[in-house]
Amino acid sequence: MEMSFRWYGDDDPVTLENIRQIPDMKGIVSAIYDIPAGGVWPYDRIMQLKEKVEQHGMRLNVIESVPVHEDIKMGKPARETWIENYKQTIRNLSKAGIKTICYNFMPVFDWTRSEMAAALPDGSNSLKYDEDTLKDIDPLSGQLTLPGWDLSYQTDELQAIMDGYKEIDEDQLMDNLVYFLERIIPVAEEEDVLMAIHPDDPPWRIFDLPRVINGNTRIKEMLTRVDSPSNGITFCTGSYGADPENDLLEIIETAEGRIHFVHARNVKRMKSGYSFQETAHSIHAGSIDMVAVLEKLHEVGFDGPIRPDHGRMIWGETGRPGYGLYDRALGATYLNGIIHTLQKKENAQ
């Protein structure tokens, strides 16, 4: 497995120089953040990002994310234009030597939490999702903002989009995803690019919006309906693991050979299981058995990029919620310890 780290570009308080000092760090996961959803990513901009990473002794191994335009998700006629643009971005990324693209198909909002800095017993703080709190929040109020959200919508436009989703259920959203994949995956195959869809986060309805990549059944459907090695998943332990009904080891078995990227994140499930808080990556910190997950990934032969996902804010660090340096660096070292042990055991056999 190739240990990697998310970097938000020159505006990120965590620098490439910081990241390169983490032991055995090989890859950088990043994106071009100022191009709106639907726009073609220019080859020269991609190369600028790639070269900046390589100057620090690492490689740009995953793009996370190339956003999918809302018209594609909603199945509107304009999706044809946005899909053609998406194909060209795949070609440009491939030309630059970048062969793994993470994306998601979550309507309107990317990953969602109710608190940015909820206290943990050890004195650190982290992202939290509280079901009761979310029920009382109006998504049009501007009360919630998170890194990665598209905040370009005006209130009236956002209202119209959310109203449009009232006519779209999970089955229709899946059909729209399949329509998109049937058109981009042939290009990905030609370009030797792996498309890795990120699960819904959290993996259930929020603000009454449909969610479609949330567990084993839907993963199996997506992989079967567009049956190509280029059509795969980002296996996010925290997203899938937030739902107590998801069996992470079963999902790994279902997606064997089609897991193209891994997000390793631990969460502590609370209440009925539909509230959770992010924790340290350790097996003892949350509800996810990270050792068992990595053992299963090793067993099915996953050797692609893996990154420590959202971390706590520790030692007084402030900055982008979930994306501080210190706890993710600890997480990378913890994960590498497990991975190196598994590799050593295999080599000794």
Catalytic residues: 198, 236, 263, 309-310, 323
Q: Where do the H-state alpha helices sit in the chain?
A: 16-20, 43-54, 70-74, 79-95, 131-135, 155-165, 170-191, 216-225, 237-241, 248-254, 290-299, 325-348
C-beta of residue 107 within 8 angstroms of C-beta of residue 165: yes
**E-assigned strands of 253-310?**
259-264, 267-270, 275-278, 305-308
C-beta of residue 32 within 8 angstroms of C-beta of residue 71: no
- The neighbouring-strand residues paired with 28 are 5, 60
b/e burial code for range 161-196 (CB count within 10 A of at least 16 → b): bbebbeebeeeebbebbeebbebbbebbeebebbbb
C-beta of residue 49 within 8 angstroms of C-beta of residue 61: no
> And the tokens for 142?
């501007």
C-beta of residue 252 within 8 angstroms of C-beta of residue 295: no
> φ, ψ for residue 197 (rounded to 5)?
-75, 130
Hey, is 341 helix, strand or coil?
A: helix
> φ, ψ for residue 136 (rounded to 5)?
-95, 5
Q: State how far the Cα of 224 lies from the Cα of 288, in Å rounded to an integer.
A: 27
